[in-house]
Amino acid sequence: MIALSIAQIARAVGGEVHLADGDTPDTLIDGTVDTDSRLIEPGGVFVAKPGEETDGHLFVDAAVEKGAALALVEHVVDTPRAASVTQIVVPDVVTAIADLAREVVGRVRDESGDLRVVGITGSNGKTTTKNLLARILEGEGETVSPKASFNNEVGAPLTMLRVTGSTRFLVSEFGASAPGEIARLAGLVDPDVGVVLMVGMAHAGGFGGIEATFHAKSELVKALHEGGVAVLNADDARVAAMAPIAAERGASVRWFGRGPGATDVRADDVVVTASGTSFRVTADGVSLPLRLRVLGEHHVMNALAAITAATTLGVSLADAVARLETVEIAERWRMQPLGSDRVRIINDAYNASPDSMAAALRTLAQITGPEERTVAVLGAMSELGEHAEEEHDRVGLLAVRLGIQRIVVVGDAARRMYLEAVAQGSWDNEAVFFSTADEAFDYLQGELRDGDRVLVKSSNSAGLRFLGDRLGESFS
């Protein structure tokens, strides 16, 4: 974080200062900000966030032991150790870190004039696109981007607070489970570039349906800085429908995709293999080959989005392509290759929606040779609300239609996938069901054989990412 005095921080968050001995209102704070006391570094700011399972106020002492110089709290913590650090009391610490993030980014923008902010949203692909774009921009200058999927009301501001006076690019990932959340987060920084990847069924339960999802994702376009640029997926009709919203905002539009509407950045000649995806990318009249090592044809669109945002910011296509070709995996648990050439495990169980589930299954079918066998280990998709049963049925149907040879469904919440697969013709143990990951692991230990290509796919809440890790280690 940039250096701010205790008084400046208190004004930014609207808090009441309780000074520790040795501090004054002018004492400068410039350490990192975190809600996890275990990650606090000397000079850092600890945010005592209440949670469902525990309360951050119980860990102020631990943060002080780690060297915290300041604590943001909702009530004074009066233990002897906590009393040795200045505390700023606010009504809501989550609101406070958002206010502080707005202050920090605003100051850096005003003082340096060089900071450019990119916001990324979409029902799928946000984290992969964020990582690809960050890899490109890091070659141009200091770049701040989220760790893992820091894209919510806590993670996004914490990322923003890592900005310093020498930061050239801030890449923010904006997720949401309800209307208004993207507007609040993007409104903290007014992005110069807003990337919208797709509008799908992810989190449809929270939004209330696909049309409500469209309105939620369009909040990023509405939040663009005056004169900003909306980077839109020309192949997604709902995303394309955001162009008039950009015009109302006074923003220009750059289009990416694989179809004729992708007039700015386009991919052609796509070839998918077990080692990655090759294609030709054309941007603003320049055409170059690109070999993306990240598994899955669906990541072509994420790469195009990253290239479009990067070239909008002045990066050459040649530099963007060269840097993307160094990326080996998008993120842990996202199409992550594990195992060995004998039994290849693809662990993609960090997140799942109907769209990403379909994309992963198609990738499995595409990269498996005629002498190899496809095995899909599938768990539940979360946050689908009233659409859950229908969408789980669709996944079971798709797995059968793609000819997946072994369908292993794990967890009671995913049982509809198994029932639909059986109803569609996966008999004779082609489809099996287990209530727990341990049961599935024991089965797969005896079932998997040389030449198997295994996809492990579910939402984070289903916990199958750990099953994928166990399988990867077992067959390494």
Ordered DSSP codes for 24-83: -TT-EE-S-EES-GGG--TT-EEE--B-SS-BGGGGHHHHHHHT-SEEEESS---STTGG
| Mean pLDDT, residues 24-46 | 96
| Mean pLDDT, residues 460-472 | 94
Nearest C-alpha neighbor of 71 from the set 80, 58, 82: 82
| Mean pLDDT, residues 446-473 | 95
d(CA 315, CA 168): 13
Category of 129 on φ-ψ map: left (φ > 0), alpha (ψ -120 to 50) or beta: alpha
pLDDT at 428: 76
pLDDT exceeds 60 at position 26: yes
Which class is domain 4-91?
alpha beta
| One-character DSSP codes across 205-248 | HHHTSHHHHHHHHTHHHHTPPTT-EEEEETT-HHHHTTHHHHHH
Reported confidence tier of residue 236, pLDDT bands at 50, 70, 90: very high
> Quick one: what percent of the chain has pLDDT higher than 70?
98
d(CA 304, CA 256): 6
| Least confident stretch, 148-152, 236-240, 280-284, 291-295 | 148-152
pLDDT at 349: 93
> Residue 318 is inside which H or E element, if any?
helix 317-324
pLDDT exceeds 60 at position 204: no
CATH fold of 96-324: UDP-N-acetylmuramoyl-L-alanine:D-glutamate ligase (3.40.1190)
The DSSP 8-state label assigned to residue 19 in this structure reads P
Angle between helix 126-138 and 317-324 (nearest 10):
120
For domain 336-474, the CATH superfamily is Mur ligase, C-terminal domain (3.90.190.20)
Cα 345-363-332 angle, rounded to 5 deg: 50
In tens, the pLDDT along 133-146 reads 999 999 999 999 99
pLDDT exceeds 80 at position 215: yes
Mean pLDDT for all residues in the chain: 94
Residue type, position 2, single letter:
I
d(CA 439, CA 93): 42
pLDDT exceeds 60 at position 94: yes
Which pair of tokens denotes residue 51?
A: 């949670």
In the chain, domain spans: 4-91, 96-324, 336-474
Angle between helix 93-112 and 6-13 (nearest 10):
120
Reported confidence tier of residue 427, pLDDT bands at 50, 70, 90: confident
More confident residue, 342 or 178: 342
List strand residue ranges (DSSP E) for 366-438, in order.
Answer: 373-378, 406-410, 431-434
In tens, the pLDDT along 3-19 reads 999 999 999 999 999 99
- How many other CB atoms are found less than 10 A from the CB of residue 179? 15
Please say whether the dihedral angle defined by the alpha carbons of residues 338, 344, 349 and 353, taken in this order, is positive or negative: positive
pLDDT at 368: 93
pLDDT exceeds 60 at position 240: yes
Residue type, position 220, single letter:
L
pLDDT at 201: 66
Which residues have a Cβ under 8 Å from the Cβ of 43 and sit 6 or more positions away? 29, 30, 31, 67, 69
Which residues have a Cβ under 8 Å from the Cβ of 475 and sit 6 or more positions away? 338, 339, 340, 342, 343, 345, 448
d(CA 134, CA 323): 10
pLDDT exceeds 60 at position 206: no
| Mean pLDDT, residues 377-403 | 93
Residue type, position 148, single letter:
A
> Residue 169 is inside which H or E element, if any?
strand 169-173
pLDDT at 358: 95
Asked, colleague to colleague, whether 4-91 and 96-324 share their fold, the answer is no
pLDDT exceeds 90 at position 64: yes
Helices (H), 51-180: 60-66, 93-112, 126-138, 155-160
